[in-house]
Structure 1
Amino acid sequence: MSETHDPVVILLTAGRSSRFLASGGPCHKLEMPLCGLPVLEHVIRAVQACGLPWHVVRSAEGDGMGDSIAAGVRATPNASGWLVLPGDLPLITADSLRKVAQALAWAAIVVPTWHRQKGHPVGFAAQCFNDLLQLTGEHGAASIVAAQDACGNVLRLALDDQGIVQDVDTLDDLKYVETLMSQR
Protein backbone atom coordinates (compact mmCIF):
# COMPACT_ATOMS: atom_id res chain seq x y z
CA MET A 1 0.00 0.00 0.00
CA SER A 2 1.48 3.37 -0.96
CA GLU A 3 1.22 6.52 1.15
CA THR A 4 -1.87 8.60 0.41
CA HIS A 5 -1.53 12.35 0.00
CA ASP A 6 -4.64 13.10 2.05
CA PRO A 7 -5.16 11.99 5.63
CA VAL A 8 -7.60 9.15 6.26
CA VAL A 9 -10.80 9.75 8.21
CA ILE A 10 -11.02 7.09 10.93
CA LEU A 11 -14.75 6.71 11.63
CA LEU A 12 -15.26 5.22 15.09
CA THR A 13 -18.40 3.09 15.45
CA ALA A 14 -17.31 0.44 17.96
CA GLY A 15 -18.71 2.07 21.12
CA ARG A 16 -21.31 0.34 23.28
CA SER A 17 -23.77 3.27 23.38
CA SER A 18 -24.24 2.74 27.11
CA ARG A 19 -25.22 6.35 27.94
CA PHE A 20 -27.77 6.37 25.14
CA LEU A 21 -29.30 3.08 26.25
CA ALA A 22 -29.32 4.28 29.88
CA SER A 23 -31.27 7.38 28.80
CA GLY A 24 -34.04 5.14 27.45
CA GLY A 25 -32.80 4.61 23.91
CA PRO A 26 -34.30 1.47 22.37
CA CYS A 27 -31.18 0.51 20.36
CA HIS A 28 -27.62 1.61 19.64
CA LYS A 29 -27.49 5.38 19.08
CA LEU A 30 -25.85 5.04 15.66
CA GLU A 31 -28.85 3.02 14.44
CA MET A 32 -31.46 5.52 15.68
CA PRO A 33 -33.53 7.23 12.99
CA LEU A 34 -32.80 10.93 12.58
CA CYS A 35 -34.70 12.87 9.93
CA GLY A 36 -35.27 9.69 7.93
CA LEU A 37 -31.78 8.18 8.18
CA PRO A 38 -29.81 6.43 10.93
CA VAL A 39 -27.50 8.74 12.89
CA LEU A 40 -24.42 7.03 11.45
CA GLU A 41 -25.63 7.50 7.86
CA HIS A 42 -25.57 11.29 8.30
CA VAL A 43 -21.93 11.07 9.38
CA ILE A 44 -21.03 8.70 6.52
CA ARG A 45 -22.59 11.08 3.99
CA ALA A 46 -20.48 13.98 5.27
CA VAL A 47 -17.35 11.82 5.14
CA GLN A 48 -18.13 10.71 1.58
CA ALA A 49 -18.82 14.30 0.52
CA CYS A 50 -15.49 15.57 1.90
CA GLY A 51 -13.56 13.50 -0.65
CA LEU A 52 -10.98 12.14 1.79
CA PRO A 53 -10.19 8.43 2.08
CA TRP A 54 -11.87 6.82 5.07
CA HIS A 55 -11.92 3.70 7.18
CA VAL A 56 -14.66 2.50 9.55
CA VAL A 57 -13.71 0.87 12.86
CA ARG A 58 -16.66 -1.39 13.70
CA SER A 59 -15.01 -3.29 16.52
CA ALA A 60 -11.69 -3.18 18.27
CA GLU A 61 -9.75 -5.41 20.60
CA GLY A 62 -10.35 -3.80 23.98
CA ASP A 63 -13.15 -1.62 25.23
CA GLY A 64 -12.26 1.98 24.71
CA MET A 65 -11.87 4.78 22.22
CA GLY A 66 -8.08 4.40 22.43
CA ASP A 67 -8.36 0.80 21.25
CA SER A 68 -10.58 1.89 18.33
CA ILE A 69 -8.22 4.67 17.27
CA ALA A 70 -5.25 2.27 17.35
CA ALA A 71 -7.21 -0.26 15.26
CA GLY A 72 -8.05 2.38 12.65
CA VAL A 73 -4.46 3.59 12.39
CA ARG A 74 -3.16 0.01 12.28
CA ALA A 75 -5.51 -0.66 9.32
CA THR A 76 -4.23 2.40 7.41
CA PRO A 77 -0.47 2.45 8.14
CA ASN A 78 0.58 4.33 5.01
CA ALA A 79 -1.73 7.31 5.46
CA SER A 80 -0.24 10.80 5.59
CA GLY A 81 -2.31 11.41 8.74
CA TRP A 82 -5.63 10.63 10.38
CA LEU A 83 -8.80 12.49 11.27
CA VAL A 84 -10.40 10.74 14.24
CA LEU A 85 -14.18 11.07 13.97
CA PRO A 86 -16.70 9.49 16.36
CA GLY A 87 -19.78 8.17 14.55
CA ASP A 88 -22.23 10.11 16.71
CA LEU A 89 -21.77 13.59 15.20
CA PRO A 90 -24.58 13.72 12.61
CA LEU A 91 -24.35 17.49 12.06
CA ILE A 92 -20.66 17.44 11.01
CA THR A 93 -20.04 19.03 7.62
CA ALA A 94 -17.79 17.88 4.82
CA ASP A 95 -16.24 21.35 4.83
CA SER A 96 -15.13 20.97 8.46
CA LEU A 97 -13.48 17.65 7.65
CA ARG A 98 -11.61 19.20 4.73
CA LYS A 99 -10.47 22.19 6.83
CA VAL A 100 -9.03 19.95 9.56
CA ALA A 101 -7.24 17.86 6.90
CA GLN A 102 -5.76 20.96 5.27
CA ALA A 103 -4.59 22.36 8.62
CA LEU A 104 -2.44 19.25 9.20
CA ALA A 105 0.05 20.90 6.85
CA TRP A 106 0.89 23.32 9.71
CA ALA A 107 0.76 21.19 12.87
CA ALA A 108 1.27 17.67 14.19
CA ILE A 109 -2.22 17.78 15.70
CA VAL A 110 -5.27 19.85 14.79
CA VAL A 111 -8.07 20.27 17.33
CA PRO A 112 -11.15 21.94 15.85
CA THR A 113 -13.16 24.24 18.10
CA TRP A 114 -16.60 25.79 18.03
CA HIS A 115 -17.15 28.70 20.42
CA ARG A 116 -13.98 27.56 22.25
CA GLN A 117 -15.31 24.02 22.79
CA LYS A 118 -12.99 21.28 21.59
CA GLY A 119 -14.56 19.13 18.88
CA HIS A 120 -13.94 16.43 16.30
CA PRO A 121 -12.42 15.26 14.14
CA VAL A 122 -9.05 15.67 15.77
CA GLY A 123 -6.36 15.51 13.10
CA PHE A 124 -3.04 13.72 13.58
CA ALA A 125 -0.06 13.97 11.23
CA ALA A 126 1.92 10.88 10.25
CA GLN A 127 4.57 11.68 12.90
CA CYS A 128 1.99 10.58 15.52
CA PHE A 129 1.76 7.06 14.05
CA ASN A 130 3.68 5.16 16.76
CA ASP A 131 1.95 7.01 19.59
CA LEU A 132 -1.49 6.33 18.08
CA LEU A 133 -0.72 2.61 17.74
CA GLN A 134 0.00 2.41 21.48
CA LEU A 135 -3.41 3.76 22.54
CA THR A 136 -5.70 1.65 24.72
CA GLY A 137 -8.60 2.30 27.03
CA GLU A 138 -11.34 4.87 27.31
CA HIS A 139 -9.43 8.15 27.04
CA GLY A 140 -8.79 8.19 23.33
CA ALA A 141 -5.79 10.23 22.27
CA ALA A 142 -5.96 12.92 24.99
CA SER A 143 -2.48 12.01 26.27
CA ILE A 144 -0.96 12.44 22.80
CA VAL A 145 -2.68 15.80 22.35
CA ALA A 146 -1.43 16.96 25.77
CA ALA A 147 2.16 15.89 25.05
CA GLN A 148 2.21 17.58 21.63
CA ASP A 149 0.52 20.68 23.08
CA ALA A 150 3.34 21.01 25.62
CA CYS A 151 5.75 21.15 22.65
CA GLY A 152 3.66 23.72 20.77
CA ASN A 153 2.64 21.24 18.08
CA VAL A 154 -1.16 21.55 18.44
CA LEU A 155 -3.20 23.91 16.30
CA ARG A 156 -6.62 24.90 17.60
CA LEU A 157 -8.75 25.55 14.54
CA ALA A 158 -11.87 27.66 15.09
CA LEU A 159 -14.70 26.47 12.86
CA ASP A 160 -18.21 27.79 12.37
CA ASP A 161 -19.79 24.34 12.67
CA GLN A 162 -21.74 23.25 15.73
CA GLY A 163 -21.63 19.77 14.24
CA ILE A 164 -18.06 19.28 15.45
CA VAL A 165 -19.25 19.33 19.09
CA GLN A 166 -22.90 18.24 19.00
CA ASP A 167 -22.84 14.51 19.56
CA VAL A 168 -25.70 12.14 20.33
CA ASP A 169 -25.16 10.57 23.75
CA THR A 170 -28.77 10.56 25.05
CA LEU A 171 -32.33 10.60 23.76
CA ASP A 172 -32.47 14.32 24.64
CA ASP A 173 -29.37 14.92 22.48
CA LEU A 174 -31.08 13.11 19.60
CA LYS A 175 -34.19 15.29 19.94
CA TYR A 176 -32.06 18.44 20.06
CA VAL A 177 -30.10 17.44 16.94
CA GLU A 178 -33.36 16.68 15.14
CA THR A 179 -34.58 20.19 16.03
CA LEU A 180 -31.37 21.70 14.67
CA MET A 181 -31.64 19.68 11.47
CA SER A 182 -35.24 20.73 10.90
CA GLN A 183 -34.15 24.39 11.20
CA ARG A 184 -31.52 24.04 8.44
Structure 2
Amino acid sequence: MKSRPAVVVLAAGTGSRFSASRHKLTQRLGASSILGSTLRHAIASHLPVVVVTTHALADAARRHVASRDVVVVPAVGTPGPEPLGMGYSIAIGVAARPQASGWLVLPGDMPMVQTSTLLEVARALDHHPVAYAQHKGLRGHPVGFAAELYSELVTLSGDEGAKRLVARYPAQGVEVDDPGVLIDVDTEADLEQLRQAASAASAPR
Protein backbone atom coordinates (compact mmCIF):
# COMPACT_ATOMS: atom_id res chain seq x y z
CA MET A 1 0.00 0.00 0.00
CA LYS A 2 1.40 3.35 -1.01
CA SER A 3 2.28 5.60 1.93
CA ARG A 4 0.44 8.89 2.27
CA PRO A 5 1.40 12.30 3.63
CA ALA A 6 0.82 12.73 7.36
CA VAL A 7 -0.82 15.74 8.96
CA VAL A 8 1.37 17.17 11.74
CA VAL A 9 -0.84 19.27 14.01
CA LEU A 10 1.19 21.72 16.08
CA ALA A 11 -0.35 22.22 19.52
CA ALA A 12 2.64 22.93 21.76
CA GLY A 13 2.63 26.74 21.79
CA THR A 14 1.88 28.83 24.84
CA GLY A 15 -0.96 30.85 23.31
CA SER A 16 0.55 33.86 25.05
CA ARG A 17 -1.64 36.43 23.24
CA PHE A 18 -4.76 34.77 24.60
CA SER A 19 -5.40 36.17 28.07
CA ALA A 20 -8.11 33.76 29.27
CA SER A 21 -7.19 31.41 32.12
CA ARG A 22 -7.65 28.28 29.97
CA HIS A 23 -5.38 27.59 27.02
CA LYS A 24 -6.82 28.93 23.78
CA LEU A 25 -6.85 25.51 22.12
CA THR A 26 -9.30 24.21 24.74
CA GLN A 27 -11.73 27.10 24.25
CA ARG A 28 -15.20 26.14 23.06
CA LEU A 29 -15.99 26.51 19.37
CA GLY A 30 -19.37 25.21 18.35
CA ALA A 31 -19.88 21.68 19.67
CA SER A 32 -16.16 21.14 20.13
CA SER A 33 -13.02 23.13 20.96
CA ILE A 34 -10.53 24.98 18.78
CA LEU A 35 -8.15 22.01 18.82
CA GLY A 36 -11.01 19.54 18.45
CA SER A 37 -12.31 21.34 15.36
CA THR A 38 -8.85 21.40 13.79
CA LEU A 39 -8.40 17.70 14.46
CA ARG A 40 -11.87 16.80 13.19
CA HIS A 41 -11.01 18.21 9.77
CA ALA A 42 -7.61 16.50 9.77
CA ILE A 43 -9.06 13.11 10.77
CA ALA A 44 -11.76 13.36 8.10
CA SER A 45 -9.03 13.46 5.44
CA HIS A 46 -8.14 9.83 6.31
CA LEU A 47 -4.50 10.86 6.20
CA PRO A 48 -2.33 9.81 9.16
CA VAL A 49 -2.51 12.44 11.91
CA VAL A 50 0.05 13.16 14.61
CA VAL A 51 -0.42 15.83 17.27
CA VAL A 52 2.62 17.49 18.81
CA THR A 53 1.60 18.96 22.14
CA THR A 54 2.51 19.45 25.79
CA HIS A 55 1.55 17.52 28.91
CA ALA A 56 -1.05 20.18 29.70
CA LEU A 57 -2.92 19.58 26.43
CA ALA A 58 -2.20 15.90 25.83
CA ASP A 59 -5.51 14.70 27.31
CA ALA A 60 -7.41 17.19 25.15
CA ALA A 61 -5.69 15.75 22.07
CA ARG A 62 -6.36 12.16 23.13
CA ARG A 63 -10.10 12.84 23.11
CA HIS A 64 -9.84 12.93 19.33
CA VAL A 65 -6.89 10.73 18.34
CA ALA A 66 -5.26 7.60 19.72
CA SER A 67 -2.54 7.95 22.35
CA ARG A 68 0.01 6.63 19.86
CA ASP A 69 -0.74 9.63 17.66
CA VAL A 70 0.04 12.17 20.40
CA VAL A 71 3.68 13.21 20.84
CA VAL A 72 4.33 15.11 24.06
CA VAL A 73 7.11 17.69 24.16
CA PRO A 74 8.21 20.08 26.92
CA ALA A 75 6.40 23.40 27.03
CA VAL A 76 8.07 26.34 25.32
CA GLY A 77 10.47 27.95 27.77
CA THR A 78 11.29 24.70 29.59
CA PRO A 79 15.03 24.61 30.42
CA GLY A 80 16.87 21.90 28.55
CA PRO A 81 19.45 21.14 25.86
CA GLU A 82 16.99 21.44 22.95
CA PRO A 83 15.86 24.86 21.71
CA LEU A 84 12.09 24.47 21.78
CA GLY A 85 9.61 26.19 19.50
CA MET A 86 7.78 25.65 16.23
CA GLY A 87 10.83 24.28 14.41
CA TYR A 88 11.42 21.73 17.17
CA SER A 89 7.75 20.70 17.11
CA ILE A 90 7.82 20.18 13.34
CA ALA A 91 10.97 18.07 13.63
CA ILE A 92 9.44 15.88 16.35
CA GLY A 93 6.19 15.44 14.43
CA VAL A 94 7.95 14.51 11.19
CA ALA A 95 10.25 12.08 13.01
CA ALA A 96 7.18 10.40 14.51
CA ARG A 97 5.96 9.47 11.00
CA PRO A 98 9.19 8.72 9.11
CA GLN A 99 7.53 6.41 6.56
CA ALA A 100 5.04 9.01 5.35
CA SER A 101 5.29 10.21 1.75
CA GLY A 102 5.28 13.79 3.03
CA TRP A 103 4.00 15.96 5.88
CA LEU A 104 1.37 18.68 6.08
CA VAL A 105 2.13 21.14 8.87
CA LEU A 106 -1.08 22.52 10.38
CA PRO A 107 -1.18 24.81 13.44
CA GLY A 108 -3.69 23.61 16.02
CA ASP A 109 -5.27 27.07 16.22
CA MET A 110 -6.59 26.95 12.64
CA PRO A 111 -9.96 25.22 13.11
CA MET A 112 -11.50 26.44 9.87
CA VAL A 113 -9.09 24.73 7.46
CA GLN A 114 -11.27 22.33 5.50
CA THR A 115 -10.60 18.66 4.88
CA SER A 116 -10.67 19.19 1.12
CA THR A 117 -7.83 21.70 1.47
CA LEU A 118 -5.63 19.20 3.27
CA LEU A 119 -6.21 16.67 0.49
CA GLU A 120 -5.44 19.18 -2.26
CA VAL A 121 -2.13 20.18 -0.67
CA ALA A 122 -1.30 16.50 -0.09
CA ARG A 123 -1.87 15.76 -3.79
CA ALA A 124 0.43 18.63 -4.77
CA LEU A 125 3.31 16.87 -3.00
CA ASP A 126 3.27 14.23 -5.74
CA HIS A 127 4.82 16.85 -8.01
CA HIS A 128 6.43 19.49 -5.77
CA PRO A 129 8.87 19.38 -2.82
CA VAL A 130 6.93 22.11 -1.00
CA ALA A 131 3.27 23.09 -1.39
CA TYR A 132 1.05 25.42 0.57
CA ALA A 133 -2.60 26.40 0.60
CA GLN A 134 -3.51 29.87 -0.59
CA HIS A 135 -6.80 31.73 -0.82
CA LYS A 136 -7.25 34.54 -3.31
CA GLY A 137 -3.50 34.59 -3.76
CA LEU A 138 -2.71 34.92 -0.04
CA ARG A 139 -0.44 32.27 1.45
CA GLY A 140 -1.83 30.23 4.31
CA HIS A 141 -1.72 26.80 5.94
CA PRO A 142 -1.20 23.92 5.76
CA VAL A 143 2.31 23.87 4.33
CA GLY A 144 3.30 20.52 2.88
CA PHE A 145 6.74 18.96 2.48
CA ALA A 146 7.62 15.94 0.34
CA ALA A 147 9.51 12.92 1.71
CA GLU A 148 12.77 14.05 0.08
CA LEU A 149 13.03 16.82 2.70
CA TYR A 150 12.90 14.44 5.68
CA SER A 151 16.55 14.86 6.73
CA GLU A 152 16.20 18.64 6.77
CA LEU A 153 12.85 18.69 8.53
CA VAL A 154 14.01 16.53 11.43
CA THR A 155 16.92 18.88 12.15
CA LEU A 156 14.74 21.98 12.54
CA SER A 157 14.95 23.65 15.93
CA GLY A 158 14.00 26.80 17.75
CA ASP A 159 11.06 28.93 16.71
CA GLU A 160 12.07 29.58 13.11
CA GLY A 161 9.68 26.95 11.78
CA ALA A 162 10.32 25.80 8.24
CA LYS A 163 10.57 29.19 6.54
CA ARG A 164 14.08 28.60 5.27
CA LEU A 165 13.01 25.35 3.59
CA VAL A 166 10.08 27.08 1.94
CA ALA A 167 12.47 29.75 0.69
CA ARG A 168 15.12 27.27 -0.49
CA TYR A 169 12.95 24.89 -2.50
CA PRO A 170 10.41 25.57 -5.25
CA ALA A 171 7.15 26.06 -3.39
CA GLN A 172 3.82 25.55 -5.14
CA GLY A 173 0.80 27.55 -4.05
CA VAL A 174 -2.43 25.55 -4.16
CA GLU A 175 -5.36 27.92 -4.68
CA VAL A 176 -8.37 26.78 -2.62
CA ASP A 177 -11.85 28.12 -2.03
CA ASP A 178 -11.24 28.03 1.71
CA PRO A 179 -10.74 31.28 3.63
CA GLY A 180 -9.97 29.15 6.69
CA VAL A 181 -6.39 28.73 5.47
CA LEU A 182 -5.81 32.35 6.53
CA ILE A 183 -7.65 32.26 9.88
CA ASP A 184 -5.87 31.47 13.12
CA VAL A 185 -7.08 32.14 16.65
CA ASP A 186 -4.53 34.27 18.49
CA THR A 187 -6.77 36.41 20.68
CA GLU A 188 -10.18 36.42 22.37
CA ALA A 189 -11.36 38.81 19.64
CA ASP A 190 -10.39 36.26 16.97
CA LEU A 191 -12.37 33.57 18.77
CA GLU A 192 -15.43 35.76 19.24
CA GLN A 193 -15.40 36.64 15.55
CA LEU A 194 -15.29 32.96 14.63
CA ARG A 195 -18.13 32.13 17.01
CA GLN A 196 -20.29 34.87 15.54
CA ALA A 197 -19.56 33.72 11.99
CA ALA A 198 -20.39 30.12 12.90
CA SER A 199 -23.62 31.21 14.58
CA ALA A 200 -24.66 33.26 11.56
CA ALA A 201 -23.89 30.38 9.21
CA SER A 202 -26.03 27.96 11.20
CA ALA A 203 -28.98 30.33 11.71
CA PRO A 204 -32.20 29.38 9.82
CA ARG A 205 -32.78 31.35 6.64
Normalising by structure 2, what TM-score?
A: 0.81
Which of 1 and 2 has higher RCO (CA within 8 Å, sep 6+)? 1
CA contact (8 A) 1:111 1:157 kept: yes
Among residues 134, 150, 156, which one is paired with 2:173 in the alignment?
156
Structure 1: stretches of 5+ with no match in the other structure: none
Cα deviation, residue 4, structure 1: 5.4
Task: Give the number of equivalent residue pairs.
Answer: 175
Residue 113 of structure 1: aligned partner: 134
Helix, strand or coil at the partner of 1:19: coil
Helix, strand or coil at the partner of 2:98: coil
Among residues 19, 28, 53, which one is paired with 2:23 in the alignment?
28
Residue 184 of structure 2: aligned partner: 167
Among residues 82, 96, 100, which one is paired with 2:103 in the alignment?
82
Among residues 36, 39, 48, which one is paired with 2:43 in the alignment?
48
Normalising by structure 1, what TM-score?
A: 0.90
Structure 2: stretches of 5+ with no match in the other structure: 55-72, 74-81
CA RMSD, Structure 1 to Structure 2 (Å)? 1.4
1:4-52 CA-partner distances (Å, limit 9, x unpaired)? 521000011111111113xxx2211100011231111101110111111
Residue 11 of structure 2: aligned partner: 13
| Partner Cα distance (1:180, 1:131) in 2 | 39
List, as ranges, runs of 4+ consecutive aligned residues in structure 1 with deviation greater than 2 Å. 59-63
1:66-108 CA-partner distances (Å, limit 9, x unpaired)? 0100000111111110000110011111111111101111100
Helix, strand or coil at the partner of 1:5: coil
| Partner Cα distance (2:13, 2:83) in 1 | 11
Cα deviation, residue 182, structure 1: 2.1
The percent of aligned pairs where both chains have the same amino acid is: 41
